[in-house]
């Protein structure tokens, strides 16, 4: 184990201090020096006077100002002279006179004041060592994030600054969002050649707001703009403005724009701006005052009395509906660029970008992957290819094949593959449930075609039925919604028809939730019920607690009862459609269940071929992409 010199110093420093004082006490505790032949035997003062009167004392050496004496006296019992130590009383001039009158050899030794010097040094060294240790600890902690050394930098901006943005991302590295790239290409031109626009009276926009679901490439676009513009680049997250201390966020906003003005023209990127830009006064009691003061300062800096010429702010959020209206007006965020999930052409471009550094087999078709992944964002597609590469490495293959791609798609959508079920009543029941979904979806003209039916568990699902939605299905008809409700009820209908109502399971819980949501939206949002063409609920749910408590219900209790009745009728309509198909196609269902139990997976094309032997399969519209 490697130990740094700082750790060693922290351990040695207290030992040195303690050792120093022990040494001081051991060697500087006395104030005089008795010499090398100091007496070790003591004599009382009374016995010393007896020896003196008896003429046995030959010499006396006085120490410590006359308080201690070393006496050389003759001991008749030992018949020899010896040196004895005597503690004398205070000043006794009579004793000195008596010694002189007796012609005794008398000598006095002065006091050595070395103890005071060492005491002074000891008292000085300890505070010095203590201050040095505290200074070292303070410097060490100040280098840590949030350490006490940062106390004076609370009001400073935490934005990462690059004089020349070396993000490594250019517009060529961004695919699938061509419309957004075209809008943002103008921002790059504003920064590099502003005179082209100011010459005709055009005003350079101050802010661009990137709006879209998570993973669609908003942050990647900001990096590409910084890489293309070749101007100073500031990047910060909205959450880094707000602290628990009042006024810190506003101070950081001021400091950020001060630095930006010094480096104009430049680019400021604020990620997740909804953390600081939410509507003011939305919560009960006025909301978070510190966050609102930070937002007020941001509004002032973007479009206040002072202009920010040459500073363009790019912000990203996936919750534009919660942003304050003052932040969204012209003059602040002049442009809102939608960065939505890519279409099939965009997904193909994204796959091309992410496949550059991966070994992919020649038989793999990126177009087939793009067709199979409707609704995938750029982050989803990157994760898909990465999961396929991980599976390839685990299986010790040299290149990614379609098998790894298919497994990766299933893993991304449904979760990890579980242990296959053993052949039992439970497995047969799950097989009938999944075949029920697939047979209803296949025989209904307005339902999406079946892609795959499997009994391999993934995530919390014991079996799965995959459908391929139409790519160009921007608008959905009432017939399509009813078909989806019937398809979702196919599993429960199969359980009821095959095993009886008493044997139905909890496996349809998720299906029933999906059916209820679709039916309620048909009634309250899309006007597809006997209640008429009215919208009874807002398009988005309540965002703030205060709005949810203060807003009144949008319809009466009587209408609420009618809504519940209509939702129940639509769900029952889909249920009856599914049960009718199950009853009519019992023979082919039994055959498909046996095949599914044997093989555990049936692809969509084979499934339709088997069903076509027993019933007429309606032709469904197939999307042909224009690549």
Distances (CA, A) of 184 to 2, 16, 289, 347: 50, 64, 34, 20
Partner residues linked to 464 by β-bridges? 454
Candidates 290, 292, 434, 496; catalytic one? 434
Q: Which of 95, 124, 153 is the last residue of a domain?
A: 153
Nearest to 515 by CA among 465, 460, 462, 575: 575
Residue 356's domain is classified under what CATH number?
Answer: 1.10.8.60
Residue 80's domain is classified under what CATH number?
Answer: 3.30.720.210
Distances (CA, A) of 420 to 423, 456, 508: 9, 5, 20
> Are 360 and 481 in the same domain?
no
d(CA 288, CA 293): 9
> Are 192 and 61 in the same domain?
no
Tokens found for residue 487: 């398809």
Contact 412, 380 (CB under 8 A): yes
Mean pLDDT per 10-residue segment, the chain (627 residues) = 54 60 51 50 79 80 77 76 78 74 76 62 68 66 48 55 65 76 79 80 83 84 79 80 68 84 83 84 57 82 70 86 85 84 85 88 87 85 91 91 88 78 82 92 90 84 82 77 93 92 88 94 90 77 46 73 93 94 92 90 90 83 50
Query: Is 353 part of a structural domain of the chain?
Result: yes
d(CA 267, CA 164): 11
Q: Which of 338, 373, 403 is the last residue of a domain?
A: 338
Query: Is 623 part of a structural domain of the chain?
Result: no
Q: What is the DSSP letter of 233?
A: E
d(CA 333, CA 339): 16
Contact 614, 587 (CB under 8 A): yes
Give the torsion sign (CA, 555, 560, 565, 571). positive
Query: Is 143 part of a structural domain of the chain?
Result: yes
For position 165, what pLDDT does the model report? 60
Q: Give the H/E segment covering residue 61.
A: strand 57-63
Using CB atoms within 10 Å of the CB of residue 626, give its burial: 0 to 12 exposed, 13 to 18 middle, 19+ buried: exposed
Check: pTM over 0.85? Answer yes or no: no
Query: Is 618 part of a structural domain of the chain?
Result: no
Question: What SS3 class is residue 531?
Answer: coil
d(CA 581, CA 486): 10
Nearest to 279 by CA among 288, 270, 271: 288
Query: Is 369 part of a structural domain of the chain?
Result: yes
Query: Is 33 part of a structural domain of the chain?
Result: no
Question: What SS3 class is residue 313?
Answer: strand
Q: Would you tell me the crossing angle of helices 178-192 and 218-229 to the nearest 10 degrees?
A: 30
Query: Is 624 part of a structural domain of the chain?
Result: no
For position 310, what pLDDT does the model report? 73
> Are 175 and 249 in the same domain?
yes
For position 540, what pLDDT does the model report? 54
For position 99, what pLDDT does the model report? 77
> Are 491 and 511 in the same domain?
yes
> Are 67 and 146 in the same domain?
no
> Are 283 and 168 in the same domain?
yes
> Are 304 and 404 in the same domain?
no
> Are 585 and 516 in the same domain?
yes
Q: Which of 391, 413, 435 is the last residue of a domain?
A: 413
> Are 108 and 120 in the same domain?
no
For position 4, what pLDDT does the model report? 55
Active site residue 186: no
> Are 138 and 215 in the same domain?
no
- 4-15: buried (b, 16+ CB within 10 Å) or exposed (e) per residue? eeeeeeeeeeee
> Are 164 and 301 in the same domain?
yes
Q: Please tell me the total count of domains within the chain.
A: 5
> Are 443 and 310 in the same domain?
no
| Residue 84, CA atoms < 13 Å, CB-side half-sphere | 21
57 is in which domain, residue-wise?
41-112
d(CA 580, CA 576): 6
For position 122, what pLDDT does the model report? 62
Query: Is 271 part of a structural domain of the chain?
Result: yes
d(CA 290, CA 620): 57
Residue 491's domain is classified under what CATH number?
Answer: 1.20.58.760
């Amino acid at each position: 184990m490697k130990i740094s010199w700082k750790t060693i110093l922290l351990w040695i420093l207290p030992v040195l201090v303690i050792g120093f004082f022990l040494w001081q006490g051991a060697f500087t505790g006395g104030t005089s020096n008795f010499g090398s032949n100091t007496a070790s035997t003591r004599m009382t003062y009374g016995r010393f006077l007896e020896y003196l009167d008896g003429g046995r004392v030959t010499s006396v050496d006085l120490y410590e100002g006359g308080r201690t004496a070393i006496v050389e006296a003759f001991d008749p019992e030992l018949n020899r002279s010896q040196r004895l130590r005597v503690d004398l009383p205070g000043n006794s001039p009579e004793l000195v006179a008596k010694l002189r009158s007796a012609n005794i050899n008398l000598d006095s030794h002065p006091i050595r004041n070395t103890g005071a010097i060492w005491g002074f040094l000891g008292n000085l060294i300890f505070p010095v060592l203590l201050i040095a240790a505290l200074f070292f600890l303070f410097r060490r902690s100040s280098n840590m994030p949030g350490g006490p050394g940062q106390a004076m930098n609370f009001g400073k901006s935490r934005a990462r600054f690059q004089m020349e943005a070396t993000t490594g991302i250019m517009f060529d590295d961004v695919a699938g969002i061509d419309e957004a790239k075209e809008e943002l290409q103008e921002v790059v031109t504003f920064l590099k050649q502003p005179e082209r626009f100011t010459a005709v009276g055009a005003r350079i926009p101050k802010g661009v707001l990137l709006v879209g679901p998570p993973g669609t490439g908003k942050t990647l676009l900001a990096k590409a703009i910084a890489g293309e513009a070749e101007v100073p680049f500031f990047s910060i997250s909205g959450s880094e403005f707000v602290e628990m201390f009042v006024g810190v966020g506003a101070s950081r906003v001021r400091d950020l724009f001060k630095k930006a003005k010094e480096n104009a023209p430049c680019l400021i990127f604020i990620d997740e701006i909804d953390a600081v830009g939410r509507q003011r006064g939305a919560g009960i009691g006025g909301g978070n005052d510190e966050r609102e003061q930070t937002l007020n300062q941001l509004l002032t800096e973007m479009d206040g009395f002072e202009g920010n010429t040459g500073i363009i702010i790019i912000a990203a959020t996936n919750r534009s509906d919660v942003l304050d209206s003052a932040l969204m007006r012209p003059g602040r965020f002049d442009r809102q660029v939608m960065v939505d999930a890519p279409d099939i052409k965009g997904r193909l471009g994204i796959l091309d970008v992410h496949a550059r550094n991966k070994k992919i087999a020649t038989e793999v078709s990126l177009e087939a992957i793009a067709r199979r992944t409707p609704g995938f964002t750029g982050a989803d597609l990157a994760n898909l290819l990465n999961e396929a590469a991980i599976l390839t490495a685990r299986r010790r293959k040299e290149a990614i094949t379609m098998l790894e791609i298919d497994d990766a798609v299933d893993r991304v959508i449904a979760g990890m593959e579980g242990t296959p079920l053993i052949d039992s009543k439970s497995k047969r029941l799950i097989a009938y449930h999944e075949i029920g979904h697939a047979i209803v979806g296949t025989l209904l003209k307005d339902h999406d075609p079946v892609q795959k039916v499997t009994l391999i568990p993934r995530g919390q699902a014991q079996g799965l039925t995959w459908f391929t939605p139409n790519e160009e299905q921007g608008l959905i008809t009432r017939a399509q919604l009813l078909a989806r409700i019937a398809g979702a009820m196919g599993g429960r209908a199969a359980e009821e028809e095959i095993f009886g109502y008493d044997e139905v399971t909890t496996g349809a819980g998720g299906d029933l939730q999906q059916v209820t949501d679709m039916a309620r939206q048909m009634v309250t949002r899309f006007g597809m019920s006997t209640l008429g063409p009215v919208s009874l609920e807002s398009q988005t749910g309540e965002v703030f607690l205060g709005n949810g408590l203060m807003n009144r219900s949008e319809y009466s209790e009587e209408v609420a009862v009618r809504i519940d009745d209509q939702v129940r009728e639509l769900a029952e309509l889909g249920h009856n459609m599914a049960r009718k198909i199950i009853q009519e196609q019992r023979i082919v269902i039994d055959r498909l269940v046996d095949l599914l139990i044997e093989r555990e997976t049936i692809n969509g094309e084979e499934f339709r071929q088997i069903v076509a032997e027993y019933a007429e399969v309606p032709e469904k519209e197939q999307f042909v992409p224009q690549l």
